[in-house]
Structure 1
Amino acid sequence: MYKNEFDNHLRQNTKFNAYMFFGQALFLVEQYALDIANSCGTKDEIEKLYFDDYDFKYIKNKLLQSSLFSSNNVVLVKLEKKIPKKDVEALIEACNINPDSTIIFSCLGDTEFKTMAGYFTSKNNSASVRMFQPSDTEAIRILEKEAKLLNINYDMQALNHLYFMHKNDLALCVNDLNKLSILDEKITSNIINIHCFGIGAVSFEEFLNNLLLGKDISDDIASLLEEGMNEVFLLNQVTSFVQQLFMISAYARAIGTPNPKEILGFIPPKNIWDKKCKLAINIKPEVFQKMLEFLLNIELELKSSKIDNSNLYIQSCLRKFTVLFR
């Protein structure tokens, strides 16, 4: 199931004996897995096993045996690769045999785990949840929630600034919020500039602007990918950027001066918004359609074709983009 459906189950207080979280949004995968573990047992009742610590026999025996010292038996397993079907089914069955036990898989990846997710069904009282990258609006709401939990006095501009500074990486944003929570002052954009540092040598927002302006972005693409940015994630961010520009352009043509709150659902930093508006107004409506078709075709190729080197492929396609839409 997807996040929204699972959130409905949470609101209805639906419980499962086994959980699996996976997908592109690694922060949400880890956050949900940890939240579910904490809801199923106390700190002393949760055992965390990460990567090479995975031991099928040990986990199965633990799930089948009730503890003499606690009422709940929770195992949180973090994985980078899927495990055999027979292992998964046996561990789920162990939790069904022993109602005191719960197993939770936090799977760091997407495609690798699609098959494994199919082993979690309502018939065996288990659930798999696939997490997609949140939209900018959803991500800012997540940061708001985290800031409130940390009792941080903040302004919205500051959260937007932090989010864009870290190239939409929620994990880095939340880490910085934890650091900022010790400050006894209101968190503003200036405070963030003093205490936080954006990742990477390349400004992602500047890269997107240069891409749409038709500038040479060859070195920037290579740097972003070398820093560890996933090819599909990079492409999705470019597509999202173009979609935002289209919405700004459409709003300006139909209504008037673009309103960021109405268009995006939040107010980005003024310098970023001004650049977007200038870009959007200078692009003709029919060109937006050609841009989006071009980007969607690249995504289709990446996900459905056997491309030998997706890194070089995305670099080549984005260089072509700057030439076609200069």
Structure 2
Amino acid sequence: MYKSQLDTLLKQSAPRVSFLYGDSFLIGYYAKKIESALKSEEKTTFYFDEYNAININTLLSQGSLFGSSSLVVLKINHKLLKADIEMFLYALLHNAHNALIIEYYQAANKSDGDYTRDCKTCAGYFKNPKMPKDSIAEVRFFPPNISECMGFMRERSKELGLMTDDKILKHILEKQNNDIALSLNELEKFVIFAGKPIEPSDVNLLCDGIASFSVEELCFALMDKKPIVKMLHTIYEEGINEIMMIGEIQRFFYQLFLFFAFIKIKGRPDAKEILGFSPPAHIAERLSRYCIRFKETEYIAIFELLSQWRYEVSKGKTKQSMSALIKIQEMIR
């Protein structure tokens, strides 16, 4: 099934079993959309390493004493066993008030080809002849095109009560290199203009633009152990202030540490409680996944490296990034 088919299905009813894979932004976006349509009274989320087939099946098998419904959400980055999926479907067949949403993200150490093959294999397991056809949806998402991104921008702008038009929304999108997740995040800044039309000058003032986007992209590439030399060269060519760049990188790792500490204490992430706002689902997922790749002592070492880098730049030693970033990348598990 593709996105358009899921959109058609959701106009009628929400699937009780959803296996979502492909573009990470759309996985998170549609998971929330399906969850909202299900209107389940109880929700339990399992994050990545928390996956436990027995515990999940127990929740899906729970009978309804007072007519309540239960939703289980799995955020995973590993291939599911056929036996596990068959077990979940059997439980849901006999407990029609419960539902399951599986968000299958690409693991950092898995190639695009391997991820696609695993997705197709798992998707083939989501079949049960005794369950209604429309109750199971396995959906592959492709990166949204510009037209689709503009649709998301209009939708979010309306939700925030912003007075804007397509020209302004496209301007924000272009400043973020058409990255829809970052662009939707940028829209949050404009709530201060409630009741007032947003002007191009407001966008230029509040949106960080390509340089900030490149730094965030650099952090993602760093955490995914991808090459960063060309990206760094591009950032420097744009004439970015190196102190500001270090500040952005420090902010990124500070957010990771907040997620790390919160999960260590609470046993689960809660982006809104950690950051004070709700970032796009795919950003929250990345931070939750990245934060556990360091130990507490390694976070201390990272902040010391970044502080030393900032000190050297303040003393006139520019472009000291490579040494610090390589050392950080070597710590990633």
Partner residue in 2 for 1:40: 38
Partner residue in 2 for 1:135: 145
Partner residue in 1 for 2:208: 197
1:117 aligns with one of 119, 123, 127: 123
1:51 aligns with one of 45, 48, 51: 48
Please give the TM-score of this superposition, normalised by the length of structure 2.
0.57
Question: Counterpart of 2:148 in structure 1: which amino acid?
Answer: E
Partner residue in 1 for 2:16: 17
Whole-Å separation in 2 of the counterparts to 1:69 and 1:115: 37
Whole-Å separation in 1 of the counterparts to 2:65 and 2:210: 47
Whole-Å separation in 2 of the counterparts to 1:186 and 1:121: 50
**Cα distance, 1:82–1:195 mapped onto 2, change above 3 Å:** same
Structure 1 contact 41–73 (Cα < 8 Å) conserved? no
Whole-Å separation in 1 of the counterparts to 2:123 and 2:200: 41
Whole-Å separation in 2 of the counterparts to 1:69 and 1:199: 53
Partner residue in 2 for 1:71: 68
Gaps of 5+ in 2: 107-114, 215-228, 236-333
Question: Counterpart of 1:10 in structure 2: which amino acid?
Answer: L
**Aligned 1:75-114 pairs, distance under 5 A:** 75-109=72-106, 110-111=115-116, 112-114=118-120
Whole-Å separation in 2 of the counterparts to 1:122 and 1:174: 38
**Cα distance, 1:93–1:45 mapped onto 2, change above 3 Å:** same
Whole-Å separation in 1 of the counterparts to 2:152 and 2:128: 29
Whole-Å separation in 2 of the counterparts to 1:147 and 1:134: 18
Question: Counterpart of 2:5 in structure 1: which amino acid?
Answer: E
**Cα distance, 1:186–1:22 mapped onto 2, change above 3 Å:** same
Partner residue in 2 for 1:152: 162
Whole-Å separation in 1 of the counterparts to 2:66 and 2:21: 32
In the comparison of the two structures, how many residue pairs are matched?
208
Question: Counterpart of 2:60 in structure 1: which amino acid?
Answer: L
1:188 equivalenced with 2:234 (yes/no) = no
Shift of 1:186: 2.1
Whole-Å separation in 2 of the counterparts to 1:29 and 1:134: 11
Shift of 1:219: 3.7
Gaps of 5+ in 1: 204-217, 225-326
Whole-Å separation in 2 of the counterparts to 1:181 and 1:89: 46
Shift of 1:8: 1.4
Alpha-carbon displacement from aligned partner over 1:255-290 (angstroms, at most 9, x marks no partner) = xxxxxxxxxxxxxxxxxxxxxxxxxxxxxxxxxxxx
Instruction: Find the residue that maps to 1:181 and give its secondary structure.
Output: helix
Shift of 1:87: 0.8
Question: Counterpart of 2:94 in structure 1: which amino acid?
Answer: I
Shift of 1:76: 1.1
Whole-Å separation in 2 of the counterparts to 1:59 and 1:219: 44
Please give the TM-score of this superposition, normalised by the length of structure 1.
0.58
Structure 2 contact 15–34 (Cα < 8 Å) conserved? no
Question: Counterpart of 2:80 in structure 1: which amino acid?
Answer: I
**Cα distance, 1:161–1:95 mapped onto 2, change above 3 Å:** same
Question: Counterpart of 2:187 in structure 1: which amino acid?
Answer: L
